Chains A and B, each alone.
Chain A
């Protein structure tokens, strides 16, 4: 026979404590990992952004100052920011326009075809991103496919490589799956009865899409846009390989501060500025997305 103990506030408190201790134990590996490899480096970057720089380019952890942040307002830096922001925005919009019909198509197929298409979307991940980006060099160069087609049709040779267009194509290609998958997830769980209800209430196909399908798939649009916009804003590899050296973007610029210019404080300040812009953009976007729902 067990005697039921009365539930006292002390007992409840102990139970809660035990619960949170167990949660801590489960979460511990993740905590340790994130502190060591994410939070700590981030703090370091933050500290460095206030450091000063010796005449030889060494970072000196004294004479703390805001010089690096002041330099962010330099017109040249602002221009790089605006250019990167615009490119990220255009990439996101193009990704969205290309992905939405495709995601819609996948989500409305039968289960077996749907799975095949989803695997096809993910197949590029199986090969190295660098290799795939170099492949675009071949396609976009003066003797690439686009150029050959143009010449075969009697036109001039087309040079896309080392232009902003090449970077845009490379970025859209690289980040397309990050847009397709959240969109697919959002469209797939849509209640199609709602679309039928709209059709039943005198909406034609396009209007039903505009009034029902699109607003209800907004969570996918928001998630996909964030997943594309944020990495493109700081993209380094694609612009470096396809963009040549003529137009500097944020990714190159930050890397060059650390490697070529050896100005670590300014590089750190730049990194923080980018994070800040991303944070603002994300908050703004979530707000806007939430409103349409």
Chain B
């Protein structure tokens, strides 16, 4: 098996004459990686997955799996299996027959099929429900059958299309850990499609964020969250404040309200820039409190306080610059701020990101 698990080179997919689902997509997914494609619905992530699976073929470009060109190869000839969003379990077959399907299609010896299916059902704790029909199982169990049905074939790449979407919150969180554990145990490359940023952040080795058919940024969870390069990625992952500023010199910019702030490197010599600031990276200081040196700061007024249990969310009005979201942990020793309080907000140089678009 030469080459990375999956390579997409200049992939473009159009439907009809004017719908561009995926455009100029270049992506390399390494062997054994847990890779997530993250984006809102209609961003092209599912189309990308379907092209890797072989349900759709690229209009342009090339897809390789471990160096082998996929071209127009039908899905049944690809060393890839899929866990479908709605599970797509065969309703007229038992759990056992569902899981055995792929092995039977590949003419695996009958006794081998039996033992491999039993083993994988054991792994997903469904050995005792082997003779049940899918509709007799709960959503979580169906999900595990779908997983078992794909994994039993030991594919080179496993594609997962929002597999946790239909589960309730608690189950979904448990399954996130299970999936991640499973993936590191079996060592199979996972390509995971989701619109849920939390899922992507907690499970993935790397994430690719997509919007309108384009791959905007690829990086690990930390990079995607802390160092978004575009307005879209910044706003899609978590909450963020976007503050417009005008470059006034090297490392320096002026906000609309006249306050000068220092900005990270890599900015243009002049013109407008957008600063992205996470709510939890902004500190609120009471009037008269000293702000640690080296931090950007500006006066503001508390206009709203929302209690979330573990955190407080504040809307702070910074005049012309607009209203910023600020998140503070709920700690008795720091106290809270009241609506109408005049305060100073501050952030460190590293907390701000320059984003484009």
A-B contact count (CB 8 A): 62
B94-113 interface bits toward A, Cβ cutoff 8 Å, 1 = contact, 0 = none: 00000001100110000000
**Given A201-B102, A203-B76: A196 and B55 within 8 A (CB)?**
yes
Question: Which residues of chain B come closer than 8 Å to A212, judged between CB atoms?
Answer: 90
Contacting pair B88 A199 (CB below 8 A): no
Q: In this complex, what residue of B is CB-closest to A195?
A: B88
Docked pose: A196 CA to B149 CA in angstroms: 14
User: Which residue of A201, A204, A292 is within 8 Å of B153 (Cβ)?
Assistant: A201
**Given A196-B55, A196-B75, A197-B82: A202 and B88 within 8 A (CB)?**
no
Let me know if B81 is at the binding interface, CB within 8 A: yes
User: Which residue of B74, B88, B106 is within 8 Å of A194 (Cβ)?
Assistant: B88
Question: Which residues of chain B come closer than 8 Å to A199, judged between CB atoms?
Answer: 54-55, 74-76
Let me know if B91 is at the binding interface, CB within 8 A: yes
Contacting pair A200 B53 (CB below 8 A): yes
Contacting pair B86 A193 (CB below 8 A): yes
Q: In this complex, what residue of B is CB-closest to A197?
A: B88
Question: Which residues of chain A come closer than 8 Å to B77, judged between CB atoms?
Answer: 202
Q: Which of A177-207 contact B (CB under 8 A)?
A: 191, 193-194, 196-205, 207
Docked pose: A201 CA to B54 CA in angstroms: 12
Question: Which residues of chain B come closer than 8 Å to A215, judged between CB atoms?
Answer: 92
Contacting pair A200 B90 (CB below 8 A): no
Question: Which residues of chain B come closer than 8 Å to A197, judged between CB atoms?
Answer: 82, 84, 88-90
Let me know if A216 is at the binding interface, CB within 8 A: yes
CB distance from B220 to the nearest CB of A (A): 29
User: Which residue of B76, B85, B106 is within 8 Å of A200 (Cβ)?
Assistant: B76
CB distance from A69 to the nearest CB of B (A): 42
Docked pose: A250 CA to B113 CA in angstroms: 53
Docked pose: A201 CA to B79 CA in angstroms: 10
Question: Which residues of chain A come closer than 8 Å to B80, judged between CB atoms?
Answer: 200
**Given A194-B90, A212-B90, A215-B92: A202 and B84 within 8 A (CB)?**
no
Q: In this complex, what residue of A is CB-closest to B100?
A: A201
Question: Which residues of chain A come closer than 8 Å to B92, judged between CB atoms?
Answer: 215-216, 292-293
Residues of chain A whose beta carbon lies under 8 Å from any beta carbon of chain B:
191, 193-194, 196-205, 207, 211-212, 215-216, 292-293
CB distance from A187 to the nearest CB of B (A): 15
Residues of chain B whose beta carbon lies under 8 Å from any beta carbon of chain A:
53-55, 74-77, 80-82, 84-86, 88-92, 101-102, 105-106, 149-150, 153
CB distance from A204 to the nearest CB of B (A): 6
Question: Which residues of chain B come closer than 8 Å to A193, judged between CB atoms?
Answer: 84-86, 88
| Beyond A197-B88, A201-B101, 11 extra complex contacts between A and B, CB < 8 Å | A191-B88, A193-B88, A196-B84, A197-B90, A198-B90, A198-B101, A199-B75, A202-B102, A202-B153, A212-B90, A215-B92
Subset of 7 A-B contacts with CB under 8 Å: A196-B84, A199-B76, A201-B76, A201-B81, A201-B102, A201-B105, A202-B153
Most buried by B among A196, A201, A203, A205: A201
Q: In this complex, what residue of B is CB-closest to A216?
A: B92
CB distance from B112 to the nearest CB of A (A): 15
Contacting pair B86 A202 (CB below 8 A): no
Most buried by B among A196, A200, A205, A212: A200
Q: In this complex, what residue of B is CB-closest to A202?
A: B105
CB distance from B65 to the nearest CB of A (A): 14
CB distance from A249 to the nearest CB of B (A): 37
Contacting pair A204 B76 (CB below 8 A): yes
Question: Which residues of chain A come closer than 8 Å to B86, judged between CB atoms?
Answer: 191, 193
CB distance from B103 to the nearest CB of A (A): 9
Contacting pair A203 B84 (CB below 8 A): no
Contacting pair A202 B106 (CB below 8 A): yes
**Given A191-B88, A194-B90, A216-B91: A200 and B82 within 8 A (CB)?**
yes
Docked pose: A82 CA to B106 CA in angstroms: 45
CB distance from A201 to the nearest CB of B (A): 4
CB distance from B195 to the nearest CB of A (A): 18
Question: Which residues of chain B come closer than 8 Å to A293, judged between CB atoms?
Answer: 92
Q: In this complex, what residue of B is CB-closest to A215?
A: B92
Most buried by B among A198, A199, A203, A216: A199
Contacting pair B74 A204 (CB below 8 A): yes
Question: Which residues of chain A come closer than 8 Å to B106, judged between CB atoms?
Answer: 202
